[in-house]
Amino acid sequence: MSELGTAPIWALTAAQTARAIREGQLSAVEVAQAALSRLDTVNPTLNAVVDHRPEDVLAQARTVDAKRAAGAPLGPLAGVPVTIKINTDQIGYATSNGLRGRAHVIATENSPVVDGFLNAGAVLLGRTNTPAFSARYFTDNQLFGATQNPRNPALTPGGSSGGAAAAVAAGIGAIAHGNDIGGSIRYPAYACGVQGLRPGVGRVANYNATTPNWSIGAQMMAVQGPLARTVDDVRLGFAAMSGRDIRDPWWFGETQDVTETPKRAAFCAHPEGIETAPEVEAALRDAAGRLRTAGWSVTEVDMMPPLKEATRLMHVLWLSDNQDALLQAALDEGDPGAIFIVKGAIDWIGDVDVAALGAALTQRAGLMRDWFAFLDDWPVFLLPPSTQLPFPVDEDLNKGFMHMVESQYFMTGLPLIGMPVMMVSTGVVAENTPVGVQILAGRGREELCLDAAQAIEIQSDPTWSSGA
């Protein structure tokens, strides 16, 4: 055990865990027991994992140990505890999406990401919480209640993958699955002080048999991705998730080789006159400085393609598939956060008819062309996560929908263009408030995002906990 140091088993990284199991330093059952014990210790306060079955977890672990004993090949995530978000199909579990009306919709086949983790040898530890409809930067619903931020309970854990980020930050699993249509991986990673990758559209197969045909907005903008405490583990999670699956016609295969890409980056502190909190700008400049120290050329630029209009178009596409039905579903569920988000978006955007949808799609093409050209000049682009530090709990309900829009251009504008974005936590400021930076790269350049992230990263203390 000396090679593993003094950290408890639950605090090991995914890479450390898989290596220890392959080399016989730990059994998968030992790892699973440690993960379950950690869950039992901290989750009653956090409410990050809302469905788990210990006997199922231990059975998965015994299968990994049996394969090792038989000399069979082990996957790259052999025995690594991984959590799955409750809006994603996993055989035998409800794909509730935080909705009372879907609490008994039980999946009969796995989504591609679940199959990917299982094929890599991971042990699925539990199911993580999300806001109702996965449609808010705050994780709370009428079915399971609120998730607490393990870094600071006065702050949101983010949303919609708030349960995923809170779990991995607190040591409940080494990798968490999340998804992102408007910031739902990146914002929880920011708020909980972990790392999260929003892959580009088509890089990770999307499919739920319980809801097989997504709206056009979801098809063009929603992605699956990993969260973890280290960039290395995000890389492992992405590799496991990104295999071929014919159930998603948007999937397009491997990333481009980035070994010959110049280490050239840029950042813009105030695009379109957007002001940020001093701590947010300081974190952005700090990340740029870390890249320079690592040998990158980093330039501050005055202009970039627009994010404000991209944010508006993102909401148009999100609402394009029968906004009246979406509002009625929120009203039927009776969830205050969901009603607030859907009604606020409809009031802002107005009626999305065929002409409005066509105009949005046409304008999107031009914006994508502008971003392709921009990222050809600057292969890596650094952006703030938000105009503000992570929100206090329920700030949206207290300050209104347009306050959220104007705070989150950096989150909601980027999904429209469909390119990969990495959220890197770089530390904390006063009152244990996380800060960090987003890293944007061109289509198929997830590895470039990850390489830049590793040059910036400060790894979280693996023994950190919420005091439990």
For the chain, give every domain's residue range. 2-456
Cβ contact 24:68 at 8 Å: yes
pLDDT beyond 70 at 267: yes
User: What burial letters (b/e) apply to 352-362, b meaning 16+ CB within 10 Å?
Assistant: beeeebeebee
Q: What is the rounded average pLDDT of the residues 281-308?
A: 97
Other residues' Cβ atoms within 10 Å of the Cβ of residue 6: 8
User: Please, which pLDDT band fits residue 3 given cuts at 50, 70 and 90?
Assistant: low
pLDDT beyond 50 at 467: no
Q: How far apart are CA 84 and CA 454, in angstroms?
A: 25
Q: How far apart are CA 270 and CA 51, in angstroms?
A: 42
Is pTM beyond 0.85? Reply is: yes
Q: Which of 155, 153, 199, 147 is nearest to 435 (CA)?
A: 155
Q: How far apart are CA 48 and CA 148, in angstroms?
A: 7
Q: What is the mean pLDDT of the chain?
A: 95
DSSP classification of residue 122: -
Lowest mean pLDDT among 129-138, 219-228, 260-269: 260-269
User: Please, which pLDDT band fits residue 253 given cuts at 50, 70 and 90?
Assistant: confident
Q: What is the pLDDT of residues 173-213, one digit of tens each?
A: 999 999 999 999 999 999 999 999 999 999 999 999 999 99
Distances (CA, A) of 181 to 4, 40, 70, 209, 222: 37, 31, 43, 19, 4
What are the φ and ψ backbone dihedral angles of 361, each rounded to 5 degrees? -65, -40
User: Please, which pLDDT band fits residue 465 given cuts at 50, 70 and 90?
Assistant: very low
pLDDT beyond 60 at 172: yes
User: Please, which pLDDT band fits residue 2 given cuts at 50, 70 and 90?
Assistant: very low
Cβ contact 465:38 at 8 Å: no
Q: What is the pLDDT of residues 32-53, one digit of tens each?
A: 999 999 999 999 999 999 999 9
The tokens describing 406, both together, are 């104007």
- Per DSSP, the three-state class of 183 is coil
What totals of helices (H) and strands (E) does the chain contain, helices first?
A: 17, 11
Catalytic residues, by residue number, are 85, 160, 184
Q: How far apart are CA 438 and CA 419, in angstroms?
A: 12
The CATH number of 2-456 is which of 3.50.50.60, 3.40.50.10490, 3.90.1300.10, 1.10.3720.10?
Answer: 3.90.1300.10
Q: What is the rounded average pLDDT of the residues 332-337?
A: 97
Instruction: Write down the residue that tokens 């796995």 correspond to.
Output: 110
Percent of the chain with pLDDT over 70: 96
- Per DSSP, the three-state class of 407 is helix
- Per DSSP, the three-state class of 225 is strand
| pLDDT number for residue 322 | 84
In DSSP notation, 370-393 reads HHHHHHHH-SEEEE-S-SSSSPBT
